[in-house]
Amino acid sequence: MGVMGITFREWAVITLGRYFSRIVEIEPDHRLVTKGPYRWIRHPAYTGMILFDIGVALALGSWIGSFLAAALIGTATLYRISIEEWVLAESFGTEYEKYAHRTWRLFPGW
């Protein structure tokens, strides 16, 4: 699961190309990326990160540690996603609303 998560995250980052940033910001000529894994999932880099984290926690064999890590990482990730989605909606308006309506946030069905 960890290798799958890293692979999926890297695919997402490579697809974003120069638009990838650790800081939530919109560049002057920014375009909404809807290809690659972004065709189906709005935040595939986070999906990959979560899959990797689950894989590591399971490999270590600590269910309590896995639960605590998932709670902390999940809370931080959902907060970051809310900020990103607000910025994207403000910047791309109807285009982002349509995109958000036809894609999943992190995982199929959610």
Per-residue pLDDT, 63: 79
- Arithmetic mean of pLDDT over the chain: 92
Percentage of residues in the chain having pLDDT higher than 70:
100
Average of pLDDT values for 42-59?
90
User: In whole angstroms, how far apart are CA 66 and each of 4, 20, 23, 37?
Assistant: 18, 28, 27, 26
Percentage of residues in the chain having pLDDT higher than 90:
66
Which pTM was predicted?
A: 0.89
Under the banding of pLDDT at 50, 70 and 90, the label for residue 109 is confident
Specify the 3-state DSSP secondary structure of 41: strand
Residue 54, pLDDT above cutoff 90: no
Structure tokens at 23: 């800081």
Under the banding of pLDDT at 50, 70 and 90, the label for residue 96 is very high
Average of pLDDT values for 82-97?
97
User: In whole angstroms, how far apart are CA 92 and each of 30, 68, 71?
Assistant: 10, 36, 31
Per-residue pLDDT, 105: 96
